[in-house]
Amino acid sequence: MADRPVFESPVVRGYETADSGDLVLADASATTKWLVCASASGAVADRLGAPFGSSSTGAGGVIVLGSRPGEWIVLGTADAVDGAVDGLDAMDPSDHVSALDWTHGRALFRVTGPEAPRMLEKVCSLDWSDPMTPDGAVASASVAKVTCDIARNDVDGTPSYLVFCDRSFGQYLFDALIDAGDEFGLVVGPATGQ
């Protein structure tokens, strides 16, 4: 495989927030992420194992999100994701399968904390309560007027959400999430990914 280009985050501007708090926003845009498209039911869907609206965690900590009918987002470390998507396009010759490295095209943020659902509900019309969106739930919706993919991926039992959007909206969405989290004492955590 060719050398990977150096990743540059869409978030280039930071803000002063509280030093510590229970609600943390982190830029995880550097995480390797692929988009896989295939039939919603078939060999590829079976291997990925995350039907629309749900997610699964596989070998090497790879997270597979069933983001739309027949579409999956695969994210994790570069090597682990490479292993997860390797050979998908040859699994079923009768299916139209595509796997695209989205790492540089999508911004990704992680919001973690007990107040994360309330913060998201300020900028998104979906119901983020536990009964409606338990750990592992995946949805696409407008967040601060930006079309996003959102996945609940709890960390040690604490509600945590992965929010994806097009890279060009990254800085705006980051700003909007800081605004939304301000009343809950949001702090900006260190960038994650690799």
Partner 1 sequence: MLLVPCPNCGPRNSADLRYGGESHARPDPATASPLQWRGYLYLRDNPADWLRETWYCRSGCRRWFTLERNTATNEFRDPPLPGDKRGGKA
Shortest separation between residue 155's beta carbon and partner 1, angstroms: 14
Which CB, 17 or 160, lies closer to partner 1?
A: 160
**What are residue 142's DSSP bridge partners?**
147
107-126: which residues touch partner 1 (CB under 8 A)?
Answer: 125
Contact stretch for partner 1 (CB under 8 A) within 10-18, 128-136, 162-170, 171-179: 128-136
Rounded CA-CA distance 185/128 in Å is: 19
Tokens of 103: 């790492």
Task: Give the residue, chosen from 77, 140, 171, 192, that forms a contact with partner 1 under the rule CB under 8 A.
Answer: 140
- Read off φ and ψ for residue 35, nearest 5 degrees: -110, 125
* 3 state SS of 90: helix
> What span, in angstroms and rounded, lies between the C-alpha atoms of 43 and 95?
9
Among 17, 29, 31, 55, binds partner 1 (CB under 8 A): 55
* CA-to-CA dists, residue 116 to 4, 17, 23, 40, angstroms: 33, 16, 7, 31
DSSP 5: P
Among residues 4, 6, 5, 8, which one has the least CA distance to residue 107? 8
| 138 scored as a contact of partner 1 (CB under 8 A) | yes
Amino acid at 171: Q
61 part of the interface to partner 1, by CB under 8 A? no
User: Under rule CB under 8 A, which residues in 146-165 are in contact with partner 1?
Assistant: 147
Can residue 42 be called a binding residue for partner 1 (CB under 8 A)? no
* Rounded CA separation 11/14 (Å): 8
Contacting partner 1 (CB under 8 A), which of 4, 18, 79, 132?
Answer: 132
Position 176 contacts partner 1 (CB under 8 A):
no
| Selected range binding partner 1 among 6-14, 29-37, 49-57, 171-179, rule: CB under 8 A | 49-57
Residues 124, 119: Cα–Cα separation, whole Å: 9
> Per rule CB under 8 A, is residue 54 in the interface with partner 1?
yes
Q: What would the x/- binding string for partner 1 be over residues 72 to 111, using CB under 8 A?
A: ----------------------------------------
Contacts to partner 1 by CB under 8 A: 49-57, 64, 66, 68-69, 125, 131-142, 147
